Amino acid sequence: MTEDEIIAKFPARLRGFDLYRKMGSPKNIVAPMVDQSELAWRMLSRNYGADLCYTPMFHAKLFANEQKYRDEHWQTNETERPVIVQFCANDPDVLLKAASMVAGQADAVDLNLGCPQHIARRGHYGSFLMDEWDLVSRLIRKLHENLEIPVTAKIRVFPEIEKTVEYAKMVEAAGAQIITVHGRLREQKGHKTGLADWAKIKAVKDAVSVPVFANGNILYQEDIQRCIDATNVEGVMSAETNLYNPALFSGKVLPTWQMAEEYLDICNEVPTNISYIRGHLFKLFRYSLPIHTDLRQKLVDVRDLDGYRQFVRDMKAQLIADAEGSDFDPEAVVVDEFGYRKYPHWICQPALRFEHDKEHSKSKRLLNEAQADVPANDTECATGNCDDADSEAKRQKTSPDSV
Ligand SMILES: Cc1cc2nc3c(=O)[nH]c(=O)nc-3n(C[C@H](O)[C@H](O)[C@H](O)COP(=O)(O)O)c2cc1C
């Protein structure tokens, strides 16, 4: 179909910047995160400045064919806009079938072209489609020509800036109305995560006509404006830092227990998978659990919402006691020579990958646009908290080719 025919078919469907503006010109964006950007978490994040949230990635084939999978994974409510639903897929017809099922409840459907995990290689989706431009184009075009709502895409970058730009232009030409660029290579995962390359994001932004969201290297609220200044993008997406500090976008310096309490209050209203809750509490209390080891075991043992509430009450009592003996002043946070802020363990803060190596920290904080050639000491993957759909697939006992 020609673009004119597509416009005639969907005269009211929004394109590019009109879609962006209709969503309120979002600047602060919560990333798609398997098991972690669920409805309750999205609601908490919106209470602290998130303008737009992506759902976790859903497997298009399971979503299209299994009511049980949909019921377990897809949740939304009337407060929940704007929201973009993300799928991974390798079959255009299956993708369209899945996407059509959420069309009335989402602002757009996003195609995951970034997942770098083994499960994605075996399942033939995510970043492993970066080698199959024709298939990527057909997936996006299928939605562009047939879905009532716009299609968007989230990509990774290639080693070569020119190839990255060509790839993004192909994605745009296929019909993507917003492109999110995660400025890391497919190989940058786990221990090799390293830095995102903002220069490549800027090159994409300069080359395409649709809005671009940047993803990578956001640790503190001020990084969002730094990223916009460096790349000229419309919005900035955060994954990991949002998990450790859901108040990231607000710039507020808040105690972890407060975020945990508010999250559990939302979970009280919005039924939430217990394993998601556990994952969030482990991250929120990341720096306190090694200190209060008795509570760590409690968190491992808890199996229901009441148990988590009791756990948070116990943790809060400990943390308030710790805070009473401290002279920490949230109005006068010390910033070290590398740009890292010194927070006590009961304050929400990013999980730093570079703690072991201040030289690399320096490049991350002070020269954020630097090329990521330095492997990071990524402890996150060990706990399943990386760019990771593996844990999700294992949990669901999903066969790798079932996407
Ligand atoms: C727990 C977790 C789950 C993730 N799941 C997804 C996903 O479902 N879809 C996706 O496109 N990216 C996923 N990612 C990748 C993030 O969206 C993001 O691209 C990546 O973490 C880089 O952003 P960051 O530097 O802000 O963490 C996930 C990341 C994390 C930490």
Best CA proximity match to 180, nearest among 73, 53, 352: 53
Tell me which residues are annotated as active site: 115
Total Cβ atoms within 10 A of residue 307: 15
Q: What is the pLDDT of residues 348-384, one digit of tens each?
A: 999 986 544 445 454 455 433 332 222 232 323 322 3
Q: Is the torsion defined by CA of 85, 91, 96, 102 positive or negative?
A: negative
Identify the pLDDT of residue 393: 31
Please confirm whether the linkage preceding 82 is cis (ω < 30° from 0): yes
Q: What letter does residue 347 receive in the DSSP assignment?
A: B
Cβ–Cβ under 8 Å, residues 142 and 95: yes
* Amino acid in the structure at residue 115: C
Q: What is the pLDDT of residues 242-259, one digit of tens each?
A: 999 999 999 999 999 999
Cα–ligand 1 centroid distance for 325 (angstroms): 37
User: E strands along 204-256, which residues?
Assistant: 212-215, 235-238
Identify the pLDDT of residue 375: 27
Identify the pLDDT of residue 38: 98
**Alpha-carbon span 254 to 276, nearest angstrom:** 22
The mean per-residue pLDDT over the stretch 100-114 comes to: 97
The mean per-residue pLDDT over the stretch 108-121 comes to: 94
Identify the pLDDT of residue 331: 84
Q: Which residue has the higher pLDDT, 373 or 230?
A: 230
Q: Is the CB of 153 under 6 A from ligand 1?
A: no
Mutation to probe ligand 1, out of 36, 387, 390, 391 (largest number of atoms < 8 A from CB): 387
The mean per-residue pLDDT over the stretch 194-210 comes to: 97
**Alpha-carbon span 36 to 86, nearest angstrom:** 13
Phi, psi dihedral angles at 2 (to 5 degrees)? -80, 165
Ligand 1 atom closest to residue 126's alpha carbon, by position in its atom list:
11
Cα–ligand 1 centroid distance for 31 (angstroms): 6
Domain 3-251 class, CATH top level: alpha beta
Question: If you take atom 5 of ligand 1, which residue's CA is the nearest one?
Answer: 33
Phi, psi dihedral angles at 380 (to 5 degrees)? -65, -35
Q: Is the CB of 168 under 6 A from ligand 1?
A: no
Cα–ligand 1 centroid distance for 296 (angstroms): 25
Q: What is the pLDDT of residues 6-63, one digit of tens each?
A: 999 999 999 999 999 999 999 999 999 999 999 999 999 999 999 999 999 999 999 9
Identify the pLDDT of residue 330: 83
Q: What is the pLDDT of residues 392-403, one digit of tens each?
A: 333 332 222 332
Q: Is the CB of 255 under 6 A from ligand 1?
A: no
* Amino acid in the structure at residue 69: Y
Q: What percent of the chain has pLDDT over 70?
A: 87
Question: If you take atom 16 of ligand 1, which residue's CA is the nearest one?
Answer: 239
Best CA proximity match to 360, nearest among 224, 223, 217, 245: 217
Phi, psi dihedral angles at 75 (to 5 degrees)? -135, 135
Cα–ligand 1 centroid distance for 41 (angstroms): 14
Total Cβ atoms within 10 A of residue 400: 14
H-assigned helices in 76-188: 92-100, 118-123, 133-146, 161-174
Q: Is the torsion defined by CA of 40, 45, 46, 52 positive or negative?
A: negative
Q: Of 130-139, 276-285, 364-373, give the lowest mean pLDDT range.
A: 364-373
Ligand 1 atom closest to residue 56's alpha carbon, by position in its atom list:
8
Identify the pLDDT of residue 190: 85
Identify the pLDDT of residue 336: 87
Cβ–Cβ under 8 Å, residues 285 and 294: no
At 173, the pLDDT band (50, 70, 90 cuts) reads very high
Q: What percent of the chain has pLDDT over 90?
A: 81
pTM for this prediction = 0.90
Total Cβ atoms within 10 A of residue 359: 9
Identify the pLDDT of residue 354: 56
Phi, psi dihedral angles at 86 (to 5 degrees)? -105, 140
* Amino acid in the structure at residue 113: L
Identify the pLDDT of residue 392: 32
Whole-number average pLDDT of the chain:
88
Ligand 1 atom closest to residue 238's alpha carbon, by position in its atom list:
26
Beta bridge partners of residue 182, listed in sequence order: 156, 215
